């Protein structure tokens, strides 16, 4: 696949890092670096007292500054270059329970025309499914208006990957519900998406145990293009049959349920010759080569779309997430390579820079709140940003990612940590490992703090009110 040819010529700067990995297509959007900022970059609390008074006034007294658009929301000029990114689990709900005030707060932000996205490391399902579950848990009856097109899952940036990869490559997709992930991969445009169940059905010797075949792996499809997973008998032969299956990318979309099968299959591909299942690379362990010869023979790239070690449920002890699966894979890899070569992989999801770049780009081009007449053709007018507030409960993903992200347009990401989720101070760890700009009780207080930081004299009561 000619990734380099496509990607070296036409990508916007904010996507170059993904381009180097050979997976992102040209978007045709204006480069972020070209944005002429109207305001200079300021630190939080950097506004002058005069600015603060003016902004507060624009909210409290001058309704003529608030322009109504066709959808009933209003764009408050005081917040025109401010946006929010909300984590979902542990911020807007915990388990099945919505956080008190989350619904009213979102309605107010929409009413004020503030831009916001939901940036979650959840995955394995369609973005619309997350919209539905979020709406249900916080009690929203009109999720389209408040939530539509704003949810960014850990694997959502793959929607923007190179069409060449999608059209011509074969990807192994694994997730908590592999069949659901396959359907979603097809919607993203991946023409050939294979699941571990497909491989198991094509060659039962791949995993010589029967568990889960009647449940998790009961749904499978024939391998694409009539390919076979049983065509190779000598793993070192390079006389590879034409019907042998070749995998080009491995996509771990969220925490798998059958770790043992998935670790086995992913291992097999990472030690293979060029991604042909059932082969072994002769370069493995050759210390004269980079990385001691491991992953040096055209093996598929490994993408992990969520690095969270744990996540929060109703259970008192945090539960393992996809990051735990990755650590298990790393442990097996260290044993296989005798510690000679670190596992090479690419990450999506927070705190990955790729994910924050994608979210920033979405916010820059989000114009559902812009009056129809002011939108450019196709509805993708670029609206500059000065500051984005990331509200999260996980210091190691939400906070770390926001702290380390420096968008090319000079906008500033601030991190706000809430106490309703993963982060709980302990005697052993009284402070978060990654320090946020501020720690507050919940998401409502987070928004109040942020808007006050922008100079608005707002309160919880105002944020939760309908007017």
* Region 363-402 residues binding Mg ion, contact defined as CB under 5 A: 393-394
Measured from the CB of residue 312, what is the shortest distance to Mg ion in angstroms?
6
As a whole number of Å, the end-to-end CA separation of the chain is 55
d(CA 216, CA 222): 17
Q: How far is the CB of 159 from Mg ion (least distance, A)?
A: 22
Residue closer to Mg ion, measured from CB, 15 or 356: 356
Binding of Mg ion by 87 (CB under 5 A): yes
Tell the smallest beta-carbon distance from residue 443 to Mg ion (Å).
11
Looking up tokens 């990450």 gives: 347
In the complex, the smallest distance separating the C-beta of residue 435 from Mg ion, rounded to whole angstroms, is 17
CB of 392 to Mg ion, least distance (A): 6
Choosing from 22, 90, 123, 275, the residue that interacts with Mg ion (CB under 5 A) is 90
Of all residues in the shown chain, the one whose CB is closest to Mg ion is 90
**Shortest reach from residue 122's CB to Mg ion, in Å:** 9
**Do 405 and 413 meet the contact criterion of CB atoms below 8 Å apart?**
yes
Query: Candidates 90-98, 208-216, 365-373, 454-462 — which segment interacts with Mg ion by CB under 5 A?
Result: 90-98
Alpha-carbon distance of 448 to 438, in angstroms, equals 12
Instruction: Give the DSSP H/E element, type plus range, for residue 93.
Output: strand 93-94
User: Which residues have a Cβ under 8 Å from the Cβ of 134 and sit 6 or more positions away?
Assistant: 88, 92, 93, 118, 140, 143, 147, 151
Nearer to Mg ion, 112 or 394 (CB): 394
How far apart CA 315 and CA 442 sit, in angstroms, is 19
Using the contact rule CB under 5 A, the part of the chain among 80-88, 213-221, 299-307, 370-378 near Mg ion is 80-88
Stretch that binds Mg ion, among 88-96, 314-322, 340-348, 372-380 (CB under 5 A): 88-96
Considering only residues 206 to 245 of the shown chain, the ones binding Mg ion according to CB under 5 A are none
Overall residue count recorded for the chain in this entry: 467
Nearer to Mg ion among residue 266 and residue 422 (C-beta): 422
Q: Considering the complex, what minimum distance in angstroms separates the CB of residue 438 from Mg ion?
A: 17
216 vs 402 by CB, closer to Mg ion = 402
Shorter beta-carbon distance to Mg ion: residue 407 or 421: 421
Contact 390, 401 (CB under 8 A): yes
Candidates 89, 396, 442, 445; binder of Mg ion (CB under 5 A) is 89
Distance in Å, CB of 248 to Mg ion, minimum:
32
Given the rule CB under 5 A, which of 83-91, 142-150, 165-173, 234-242 is the region that contacts Mg ion? 83-91
Q: Which is nearer to Mg ion, 160 or 323 (CB)?
A: 323
DSSP string across 235-287: TT-----TTB-B--EEEE-S--S-HHHHHHHHHHHHTSSTTBTT---TTTT-T
Between 90 and 455, name the residue whose CB sits nearer to Mg ion: 90
Whole-number Å distance between alpha carbons of 414 and 84:
9
In contact, 178 and 172? CB cutoff 8 Å: no
* Count of residues of this chain found to bind Mg ion when the rule CB under 5 A is applied: 5
Using only C-alpha atoms, the chain has a radius of gyration, in whole angstroms, of 24
**Residue nearer to Mg ion on the CB measure, 32 or 117:** 117
Three-state secondary-structure class, residue 17: helix
CA nearest to 364, candidates 387, 395, 391, 397? 387
Q: How far is the CB of 88 from Mg ion (least distance, A)?
A: 7
**Cα(263)–Cα(318) distance, integer angstroms:** 23
Nearer to Mg ion, 89 or 445 (CB): 89
Which residues of the shown chain bind Mg ion in the complex (CB under 5 A)? 87, 89-90, 393-394
């Amino acid at each position: 696949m000619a990734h380099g040819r496509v990607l070296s010529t036409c990508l916007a700067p904010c996507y170059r890092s993904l381009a180097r990995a050979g997976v992102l297509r040209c978007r045709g959007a204006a480069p972020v670096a070209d944005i002429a900022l109207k305001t200079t970059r300021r630190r939080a609390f950097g506004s002058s007292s005069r600015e603060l008074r003016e902004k507060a006034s624009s909210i409290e007294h001058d309704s003529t500054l608030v322009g109504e658009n066709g959808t009933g929301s209003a764009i408050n000029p005081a917040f025109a270059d401010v946006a929010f990114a909300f984590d979902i689990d542990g911020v807007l709900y915990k388990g099945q329970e919505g956080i008190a005030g989350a619904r009213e707060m979102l309605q107010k932000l929409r009413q004020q025309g503030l831009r916001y996205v939901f940036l979650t490391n959840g995955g394995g399902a369609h973005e619309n499914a997350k919209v539905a579950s979020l709406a249900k848990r916080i009690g929203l009856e009109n999720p389209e208006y408040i939530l539509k097109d704003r949810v960014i899952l850990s694997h959502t940036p793959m929607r923007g990957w190179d069409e060449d990869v999608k059209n011509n490559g074969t990807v192994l997709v694994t997730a908590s519900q592999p069949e659901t992930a396959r359907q979603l991969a097809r919607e993203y445009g991946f023409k050939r998406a294979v699941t571990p169940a497909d491989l198991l059905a094509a060659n039962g010797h791949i995993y010589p145990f029967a568990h889960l075949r009647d449940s998790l792996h009961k749904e499978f499809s024939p391998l694409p293009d009539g390919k076979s997973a049983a065509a190779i008998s000598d793993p070192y032969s390079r006389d590879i049959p034409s019907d042998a299956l070749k995998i080009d990318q491995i996509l771990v979309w969220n925490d798998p349920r059958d770790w043992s099968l998935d670790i086995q299959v992913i291992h097999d591909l990472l030690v293979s010759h060029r991604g042909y299942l059932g082969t072994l690379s002769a370069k493995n362990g050759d210390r004269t080569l980079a990385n001691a010869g491991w992953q040096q023979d055209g093996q598929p790239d490994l993408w992990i779309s969520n690095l969270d070690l744990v996540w929060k449920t109703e259970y008192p002890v945090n539960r393992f997430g996809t990051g735990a699966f990755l650590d298990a894979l790393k442990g097996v890899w260290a044993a296989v390579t005798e510690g000679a070569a670190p596992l090479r992989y690419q990450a999506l999801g927070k705190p990955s820079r790729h994910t924050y770049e994608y979210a920033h780009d979405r916010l820059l081009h989000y114009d559902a709140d812009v009056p129809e007449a002011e939108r450019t053709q196709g509805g993708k007018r670029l609206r500059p940003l000065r500051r984005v507030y990331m509200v999260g409960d996980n210091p190691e993903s939400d906070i770390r990612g926001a702290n380390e992200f420096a968008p090319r347009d000079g906008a500033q990401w601030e991190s706000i940590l809430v106490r309703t989720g993963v982060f709980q101070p302990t005697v052993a760890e009284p402070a978060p490992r990654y320090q946020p700009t501020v720690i507050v009780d919940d998401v409502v207080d987070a928004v109040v703090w942020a808007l006050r930081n922008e100079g608005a004299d707002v309160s919880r009561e105002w944020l939760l009110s309908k007017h």
